[in-house]
Amino acid sequence: MPFSATAERLDVAGDLLALLRDTTTEPRPDPQLEALTLAVAADLPVLLWGEPGIGKTAALTQLAEALDLPLTTVIASVHEPSDFAGLPVVGDDPAVQGVPMAPPDWAVRLAAQGRGLLFLDELSTAPPAVQAALLRLVLERRVGALRLPPGVRIVAAANPRSSAADGWELSAPLANRFVHLQWTYDHDVVVRGLGGTWPRAALPRLDPARLPDAVAYARRAVCTLLGARPRLVHQLPSSEARRGGAWPSPRSWEMALRLIAFATAAGTDRDVLSALVRGVVGDGPGLELLASLDRLDLPDPETLLADPAGAVLPDRGDLRQAVLDGVVEAVRNRPDRARWDAAWALLVKALETGAPDLVVVPASTLAAQRQDDWDIPAAIDRLEGVVSVGKRAGRVGVGR
- The Cα 75–Cα 336 span in angstroms is 68
Mean pLDDT of 115-119: 94
Do 28 and 133 reside in the same domain of the chain?
yes
Do 123 and 47 reside in the same domain of the chain?
yes
Do 177 and 28 reside in the same domain of the chain?
yes
Do 195 and 214 reside in the same domain of the chain?
no
Question: Does pLDDT of 165 surpass 60?
Answer: no
* 343 within a domain of the structure (yes/no): yes
- Tally the domains of the chain: 3
* 133 within a domain of the structure (yes/no): yes
Do 49 and 160 reside in the same domain of the chain?
yes
Do 240 and 349 reside in the same domain of the chain?
no
- The Cα 115–Cα 110 span in angstroms is 7
- Looking at 171, 199, 227, which one is the last position of a domain? 199
Query: Do β-strands 115-121 and 24-26 pair in parallel, antiparallel, or remain unpaired?
Result: unpaired
* 257 within a domain of the structure (yes/no): yes
* 8 within a domain of the structure (yes/no): no
Range of the domain at 224: 209-296
Q: Find the length of the chain.
A: 400
Q: Which helix (H) or strand (E) holds 36?
A: helix 31-41
Do 184 and 213 reside in the same domain of the chain?
no
Q: Which long-range contacts does 326-331 make (Cβ < 8 Å, 24+ apart)?
A: 326/298, 326/301, 327/301, 327/362, 328/362, 328/365, 328/366, 328/369, 329/301, 330/301, 330/302, 330/305, 331/305, 331/366, 331/369
* 162 within a domain of the structure (yes/no): yes
- The Cα 246–Cα 281 span in angstroms is 5
Under 8 Å between Cβ of 42 and 262: yes
Instruction: Provide the percentage of residues in the chain whose pLDDT is more than 70.
Output: 90
66: nearest Cα among 45, 36, 110: 36
Question: Does pLDDT of 390 surpass 50?
Answer: no
Do 116 and 257 reside in the same domain of the chain?
no
**What amino acid is encoded at 265 in this protein?**
A
Do 339 and 274 reside in the same domain of the chain?
no
Supply angle C-alpha 52, 55, 57, rounded to 5.
Answer: 90
- Record the pTM: 0.78
* CATH number of the domain residue 141 falls in: 3.40.50.300
Tell me what pLDDT residue 48 has: 95
Mean pLDDT of 150-161: 90
- Looking at 170, 199, 228, which one is the last position of a domain? 199
Under 8 Å between Cβ of 218 and 269: no
pLDDT digits (tens, 9 = 90+) for 309-359: 898 888 888 888 888 988 998 899 899 899 999 999 999 899 888 888 888
Model confidence at 93, in pLDDT bands (50, 70, 90)?
low
> Where would I find the beta strands (DSSP E) of the chain?
24-26, 46-49, 71-75, 87-88, 101-102, 115-121, 142-143, 146-147, 151-158, 179-182, 197-199
Do 337 and 370 reside in the same domain of the chain?
yes
Tell me what pLDDT residue 162 has: 65
Angle subtended by helix axes 270-281 and 283-296, to nearest 10? 130
